[in-house]
């Protein structure tokens, strides 16, 4: 019905797309899709219930119970024979019903991608929605109070940072940002029908609703005739070099990082942006990635958010650097794992624009990115309650594909500042490695490392201050790798706060120890393999052995990657 009705009004919306401004069209078209989907949907109770048996089977089961009770009251051969006959008939029909039900389920599993609807809940753990907020040793469970607390917290979290008027980098960034603000809108290259179609086909049909009331699944149901309308809409926006204003408002849901009753600072905000705006955003994002590839805007020490730069590469490179350093017993290796405080949420707009300017990004892209960043708002959704609207003066929405690429470009020059050290960077996880000298004693290497670490922290402090990207000192750890029984540890400070030394550190999923032992890591992987094996047993109980193709898919998807990952990292 949804698809059929849209086909009937296709010509009307095509004429509207040509004769209406893009902002109004975006709002009206999103409202149409949301309301039409609501009218075409049927809503049922969400309570879980067992599917009933066929009426004839239920009637036969009741007849068996009546015959059994009748025989118990008067035990005669006739009633016994009647009871046994009904019972045998009931068991045969019940067996046939269960068999047919199982066969139909197997056919459904083998069809299309239905297998993953069965397998995913078994293998993928999920965190249930938190039930309350812990504040001042009290647990608050009232929905209205929760959204008010979260709104107050995130209002401070996303407020505009104060820059230093005596900092040259800050003044330069502000000047460049204002130049971009006052620059007239620059049109982007026309968006082709092929670009729109490719992104539409790559959509994952997720059913979660966004701030406009639409979903990716809903857009996947659009008739192909509407791809031309969407192309016209996107080109109307590209000609003006701006972004949809309504798409800048995000519906935010919070995921707990600390149990069922976390504090407000132990939540991860996930932005559900209008999918129609994300469609347009992904097209521009692909063009920005193409520009990065053509101009080689990459750093060898950096992985993440980029194709062909894998997480395994970063881990193996770091461990190999440490291993080669501590091969000699007098050469320790000092690794400082830096944690940036809410890196995505603290991305300062002027610093980002200044970095893009230094990378010589085309001016139309810089102007469009500035438009995309500004005037963003969010609203916290919890249960049936919605908070007041909150302005985002800093950071990019977590849930946007463009935000990850912009953050990668934002810290592009970070590894270059540590040219005297070995650095490894994956997303916002920075590891600084200091190696001891081969010709010096272990004690002298420790003394020298303390001075070098002090220099590294001063570089990090300056970068953090220049870009207003704070470092979380409490989560920043140091690990000294060595072959000595009782070594002396160097003292490392960041802004007069001492950095804690640890005996092991989990970096990108791999536990690195002082002696580079693999016992903890092997036990962790074996536990994961055991859990995967147990989950496979649960699924395989419902899948016959002759369904080899289905079993192979599950094994290759969930079990084999564990063994490959284990082999590559050892």
Whether 400 shows a pLDDT value over 90: the answer reads no
Residue with tokens 């969930």: 558
Distance CA 525, CA 560 (A): 12
The overall average pLDDT reported for the chain is 88
In this structure, is the dihedral angle defined by the CA atoms of residues 102, 105, 111 and 113, taken in order, positive or negative?
negative
Q: 131: how many CB neighbours lie within 10 A of its CB? A: 13
Contact yes or no for 361/374 (Cβ under 8 A): no
Q: Is the pLDDT of residue 494 over 60?
A: yes
CB-count exposure of residue 20 (10 Å: 0-12, 13-18, 19+): middle
Instruction: Report residue 492 as tokens.
Output: 């490392």
**pLDDT value for 568:** 63
Assess contact for 378 and 392: CB atoms under 8 A. yes
Q: What is the pLDDT of residues 149-160, one digit of tens each?
A: 999 999 999 999
Give per-residue pLDDT as tens, 206-227.
888 888 889 999 999 999 999 9
| Contact status, residue 361 vs residue 469, Cβ threshold 8 Å | no
| Residues 184-210 pLDDT 10s | 989 999 999 999 999 999 988 888 888
Rounded Cα gap, residues 248 and 373, in angstroms:
8
Q: What is the DSSP code string of 316-367?
A: HHHHHHHHHHTTSTT--EEEEEEEBTTTGGG--HHHHHHHHHHTT--HHHHH
Q: What is the 3-class SS of 173-229, one letter each residue?
A: HHHHHHHHHHCCCCCCCCCCHHHHHHHHHHCCCCCCCCCCCCCHHHHHCCCCCHHHH
**Residue 44 reports pLDDT greater than 70:** no
Taking the model in full, what pTM does it have?
0.83
Tokens of 311: 């997480």
What lies within 8 Å, CB to CB, of 7 at 6+ separation is: 223, 225
Residue 51 has pLDDT above 70, yes or no: no
The residue whose two tokens read 């109980």 is: 541
Q: How far apart are CA 240 and CA 152, in angstroms?
A: 35
Confidence of residue 330 (pLDDT cuts 50, 70, 90): confident
Predicted confidence (pLDDT) per residue in 448-488, tens digit: 999 999 999 999 999 999 999 999 999 999 999 888 877 88
């Amino acid at each position: 019905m949804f698809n059929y009705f849209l086909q009937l009004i296709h010509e009307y919306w095509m004429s509207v797309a040509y004769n209406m401004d893009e902002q109004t069209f975006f709002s009206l078209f999103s409202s149409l899709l949301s309301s039409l989907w609501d009218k075409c949907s049927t809503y049922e109770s969400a309570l879980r219930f067992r599917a009933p048996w066929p009426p004839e089977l239920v009637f036969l089961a009741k007849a068996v119970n009546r015959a059994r009770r009748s025989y118990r009251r008067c035990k005669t051969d006739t009633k016994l024979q009647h009871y046994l006959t009904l019972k045998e008939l009931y068991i045969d029909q019940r067996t046939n019903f269960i068999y047919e039900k199982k066969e139909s389920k197997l056919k459904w599993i083998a069809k299309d991608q239905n297998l993953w609807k069965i397998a995913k809940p078994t293998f993928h753990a999920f965190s249930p929605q938190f039930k309350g907020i812990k504040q001042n040793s009290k647990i608050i469970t009232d929905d209205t109070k929760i959204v008010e607390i979260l709104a107050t917290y995130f209002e401070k979290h996303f407020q505009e940072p104060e820059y230093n008027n005596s900092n040259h980098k800050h003044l330069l960034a502000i000047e460049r940002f204002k130049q971009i603000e006052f620059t007239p809108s620059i049109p982007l290259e026309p968006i082709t029908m092929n670009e729109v179609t490719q992104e539409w086909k790559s959509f994952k049909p997720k059913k979660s609703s966004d701030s406009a009331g639409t979903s990716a699944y809903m857009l996947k149901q659009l008739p192909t005739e509407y791809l031309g309308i969407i192309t016209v809409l996107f080109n109307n926006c590209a000609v003006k070099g701006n972004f949809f204003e309504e798409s800048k408002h995000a519906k935010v849901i919070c995921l707990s990082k600390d149990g069922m009753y976390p504090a407000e600072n132990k939540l991860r905000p996930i932005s559900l942006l209008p999918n129609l705006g994300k469609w347009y955003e992904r097209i521009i994002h692909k063009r920005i990635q193409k520009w990065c590839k053509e101009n080689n805007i990459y750093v060898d020490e950096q992985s993440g958010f980029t194709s062909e730069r894998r997480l395994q590469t970063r881990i193996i490179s770091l461990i190999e650097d440490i291993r080669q350093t501590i091969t000699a017993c007098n050469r320790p290796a000092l690794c400082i794992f830096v944690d940036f405080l809410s890196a995505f949420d603290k991305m300062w707009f002027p610093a980002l624009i200044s970095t893009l300017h230094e990378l010589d990004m085309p001016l139309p892209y810089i102007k469009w990115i500035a438009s995309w960043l500004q005037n963003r708002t969010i609203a916290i959704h919890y249960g049936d309650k919605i908070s007041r609207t909150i302005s985002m003066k800093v950071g990019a929405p977590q849930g946007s594909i463009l935000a990850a690429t912009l953050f990668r470009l934002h810290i592009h020059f970070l590894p270059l500042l540590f040219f005297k050290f070995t650095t490894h960077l994956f997303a916002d996880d920075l590891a600084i490695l200091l190696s001891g000298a081969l010709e010096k004693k272990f004690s002298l290497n420790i003394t020298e490392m303390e001075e070098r670490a002090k220099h590294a922290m001063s570089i990090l402090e300056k970068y953090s201050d220049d870009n207003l990207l704070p470092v979380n000192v409490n989560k920043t750890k140091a690990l000294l790798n060595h072959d000595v029984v009782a070594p002396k540890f160097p003292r490392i400070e960041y802004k007069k706060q001492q950095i804690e030394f640890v005996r092991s550190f989990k970096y990108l999923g791999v536990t690195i120890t002082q002696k580079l032992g693999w016992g903890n890591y092997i036990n962790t992987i074996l536990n994961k393999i055991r859990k995967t094996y147990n989950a496979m047993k649960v699924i395989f109980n419902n899948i016959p052995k002759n369904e080899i193709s289905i079993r192979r898919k599950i094994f290759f998807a969930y079990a084999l990657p564990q063994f490959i990952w284990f082999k590559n990292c050892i």
